[in-house]
Structure 1
């Protein structure tokens, strides 16, 4: 890992010309003391790194220095394969590898293309941290050590031991046969089997992981897209699913349909409102989805859903009816 970091340090200096120890430490995700040690190691190896003192000083390479240290390692190549989603790389613990790989790609470009590509890249922004309403996008944090063990077991085809905290339960150890990794809307999932049964684990709920030496019991070939669709179908058909009859204003139809699991029936009332039979994941999902639509929707059935929404609205009205 230190060799990769030294290569990244050289490439950063080649790209930016001069960088302070603090800036290098931030880019490489290490301490400034580590950067100083790395610079010393590069100098000892014959790489012409020199320091410039003063307010605008920093480290730089002698003009004209060239290096062939651009080969991608395994994680960097893998990061580029999932670079279509920068957040996907983050979800799989490959964020640092992606940054390192991109530095090597830029360094390998001819000088003319390098400057052109850098300029074009500044004109593109993919998946910013907030939307137009300044709402932050939820990103689940998974420790690098955990996701690295999971990743290795998936690629090597070995059994995996995980300390997993299911929703509402205390963490416990279990041994699984990993099949693949999936990221959906900033959330990472491990697809696996346990005792021959399909299992899906959210990466952020894995507290610790250990790759085992024993081979995993799994097919040699897998269609992850199909496996994910099949698991999603089974999940949506779970025992907790709620079906509701909802009257919705046409302007709110898309919001309702995008939130619901499925639409089983639809018709138009005499006043122009729509009447939809929709399925939700569970009672909390149904309550949340209809609450977001405010007066743009009305739950007709089941009765308990109407009661829940009425009680919630009454409590809100009472709270705001009193002086602050």
Structure 2
């Protein structure tokens, strides 16, 4: 375990340059004290690294030093081939580059690891888009990706759901996120980072102006916070319900040992919950709120009368 961690620490310094002990500890998921011990062990083994004190300090390798510890294990080779998404790369204009890279990677692997990688390609396929919907038309995706890579400010005309429906903005494209088959641009502006659906970009112009991403911005961290905030704003109420074992399974609630399960579930609104709960049919009994129960009862009476004819 420690040997693997030492290799990872060394590769982090090689690929990223100067890193503080705290940054290394966060990457390796260990304590700062452990990082100190690991750095001492690498130095004792003859690895030319040194530390710099002060606010801008940290550990780094001597300029020009490159480790040869870049061989992939079987598990790492599997992960690399599993993470390669041909469809996604093609959308970003990198399909040919990915195919070439995979050929080079496969050729560099030992025979056993190559066999593992081949089995991954034979047995696993990631199809990101959801069911019951065509893929979004994203004619500006390649241009957006190019601006993200080049760190160039863009001016875009964008269509949104509220008035005014069409707006023009100048933003700094920090990164792209693929969520459930849909591309989102995370871009900085006067009010901080915001998300834009790439398929709703009507026109885009890449400017000559370069920008710098704030040093405290992390795309994965920001996106996780954005999703948490979205879910918190989405579910503003609760409903008290009783569920059959099948209803509990379909709603993702842990069922009771037998019979009905009572649960308090989050809802977006009475209107939304009405449509969602109707799908469960007789597998759900809504107890509260009263207006939702009354709404479902009225719908049930209407349906009964219609099908009784």
TM-score by length of 1: 0.55
Q: What are the within-5 Å matches in structure 2 for residues 232-251 of structure 1? A: 232-238=227-233, 241-251=236-246
SS at match of 2:122: coil
Which string of whole-angstrom CA distances, capped at 9 and with x for unpartnered residues, describes residues 154-173 of structure 1? 22223232222223552322
How many Å apart are 1:247 and its aligned residue? Answer: 1.7
Measured in 2, the distance between the counterparts of 1:129 and 1:232 equals 18
| Number of the residue aligned with 1:164 | 158
Q: What are the within-5 Å matches in structure 2 for residues 1-324 of structure 1? A: 84=83, 86=85, 89=88, 93-94=91-92, 97-98=94-95, 101-102=98-99, 105-106=102-103, 120=119, 123-128=122-127, 136=131, 138=133, 140-144=135-139, 146-167=140-161, 169=163, 170-216=165-211, 218-220=213-215, 222-238=217-233, 241-257=236-252, 272-322=259-309
How many Å apart are 1:245 and its aligned residue? Answer: 1.6
Q: Which moved more, 1:238-247 or 1:295-304?
A: 238-247
Which string of whole-angstrom CA distances, capped at 9 and with x for unpartnered residues, describes residues 77-109 of structure 1? xxx98972638716x823x63256325644886
Measured in 2, the distance between the counterparts of 1:154 and 1:81 equals 23
Q: Which moved more, 1:118-127 or 1:176-185?
A: 118-127
SS at match of 1:126: coil
Unpaired segments of 5 or more residues in structure 1?
1-79, 259-265
Measured in 2, the distance between the counterparts of 1:306 and 1:150 equals 47
Measured in 2, the distance between the counterparts of 1:203 and 1:245 equals 38
Change (3 A) 1:189 1:289: same
Measured in 2, the distance between the counterparts of 1:316 and 1:85 equals 49
Change (3 A) 1:239 1:292: closer
Change (3 A) 1:231 1:118: closer
Measured in 1, the distance between the counterparts of 2:300 and 2:117 equals 53
SS at match of 1:298: strand
Change (3 A) 1:274 1:158: same
Unpaired segments of 5 or more residues in structure 2?
1-78
Measured in 1, the distance between the counterparts of 2:215 and 2:277 equals 44
